[in-house]
Structure 1
């Protein structure tokens, strides 16, 4: 579309004057919404006409200001209307229509601005809520980290290194055993993510006779970031081992899938 030619065609002047059919007026209005240049031209035509006719505003135009007051929520503040002698020609129909169009355009702009403001506020609220969640999560993580450090630094804690076994020699883990509260903290950073359909299972072992007892599976291993897990242990463990088992765990360890093993010794630091 040649916007310049359309503007110069004179149809916008007829639109402002209200001389177009309903269909033609609708087409111009839709083009105003799509093309800022056309809207700007219409506003300039209106401004020119209003400026030329401002000296001959009719006495009965006070209701237009009441509409503007109501739409702009000015309350009961008095708006002074200056009346002058009635002009030779009746401009009331045109000026009233033009003023109403300006009010409508202003209200449309205000509505769009309000919608944008609501969208901005909604976005800001979401961002603030997300930030608050992140701050709270960081506080919780910090508290958990401090608690973990206090546990690991306890002088009575027993640290048991678990070395890689067989073809899994690159695997490793470490158990921190606190006999006072029957718990262990397993640092399993040296294990790979469990394949689909598999889970890591932790075992407490007595050596004579060799008796494995399951301490449970680590179902959330792949999604846990720090790979440190708290596990209850009420047994007199002499060793700890970790195997890769089918989901749900096994009643006894699959020795071919024994990744790490560590023995508790009197000299264990």
Structure 2
């Protein structure tokens, strides 16, 4: 036990004034026996009280003061340790501070959790919006593809597989009034990496004259694999070849996948 802190707590003054309970007095008595510093302090306090009393009571005789003093010096035969009241208040203050700290920490945690929940909801909302937009775009594209297939004004040209890919096939939907051309490439295999399908409008007479009318880009990303290509006005046949990415100026005949006459 730190005797200096105990002495500074003010308990000994209460003890001398007779303001402690019986158990507290016993504890002070015990500590006075065990610790000389505490015992000396009690004697010092009692002497101070006697001196103060003397200064304010000049009509009492010296003999009476001596008797009172002797009684006071004999008072501390028994002693007891009592936790200072100010220490109790100090412990209570610490406890209240701890509760406040825990409460603030709990509120801070809940606030951060709430912010995280809101952020997660916002992210989910963005993802759902992206899914909706993507679905709407796919639905719109599907409707457009169906309109192409169902358009009675379209001339449908079937392109059969050639030596490079005998099992391949494709269809060309050609509106001769508007000259628009759509290619259904669902019968073509996935092109190798770094390669792309290129569509050609062909004139057969007086000599074979190919004209590129488009590349089937984003082949994997197109679900229905119906592609709009450039207009043509005088095609006698259509062919599709496999070319390096970016296309070629003239068709690679060894990589002719499909061919069909109008």
Q: TM-score range by the shorter chain?
A: 0.5 to 0.7
Correspondence for 2:233: 235
Q: State the alpha-carbon separation in 2 of the partners of residues 147 and 247 from structure 1.
A: 27
Which runs of structure 2 are paired with 1:88-107 in the superposition (5 Å)?
89-90=85-86, 91-107=88-104
Q: State the alpha-carbon separation in 2 of the partners of residues 192 and 134 from structure 1.
A: 28
User: Could you tell me whether the CA contact under 8 Å between 1:164 and 1:172 is conserved in 2?
Assistant: yes
**Larger RCO of the pair (alpha carbons < 8 Å, separation 6+):** 2
Q: State the alpha-carbon separation in 2 of the partners of residues 262 and 149 from structure 1.
A: 22
Q: CA RMSD in A?
A: 1.7
Q: State the alpha-carbon separation in 2 of the partners of residues 140 and 166 from structure 1.
A: 37
Q: State the alpha-carbon separation in 2 of the partners of residues 263 and 237 from structure 1.
A: 9
User: Could you tell me whether the CA contact under 8 Å between 1:204 and 1:235 is conserved in 2?
Assistant: no
| SS of the residue 2:218 aligns to | coil
Question: How many matched pairs?
Answer: 177
Correspondence for 1:179: 176
Correspondence for 1:210: 208
Instruction: State the Cα distance separating 1:133 from its structure 2 match.
Output: 1.6
Q: State the alpha-carbon separation in 2 of the partners of residues 128 and 235 from structure 1.
A: 48
| SS of the residue 2:85 aligns to | coil
Q: Deviations over 1:103-130 (max 9, x none)?
A: 1111111111211221111111101111
TM, length-normalised to structure 1: 0.62
Q: 2:125 aligns with which of 123, 128, 138?
A: 128
Give the gaps of 5 or more residues in structure 2. Answer: 1-83
> Cα distance 1:139–1:195, how it changes in 2: closer, same or farther (>3 A)?
same
Q: 2:114 aligns with which of 97, 117, 124?
A: 117
Q: State the alpha-carbon separation in 2 of the partners of residues 110 and 262 from structure 1.
A: 74
User: Could you tell me whether the CA contact under 8 Å between 2:197 and 2:242 is conserved in 1?
Assistant: yes
Q: Deviations over 1:211-231 (max 9, x none)?
A: 111112223223333321111
Correspondence for 1:163: 160
Q: State the alpha-carbon separation in 1 of the partners of residues 209 and 111 from structure 2.
A: 72
TM, length-normalised to structure 2: 0.63
User: Could you tell me whether the CA contact under 8 Å between 2:174 and 2:180 is conserved in 1?
Assistant: yes
Correspondence for 1:3: none
Give the gaps of 5 or more residues in structure 1. Answer: 1-87, 265-269
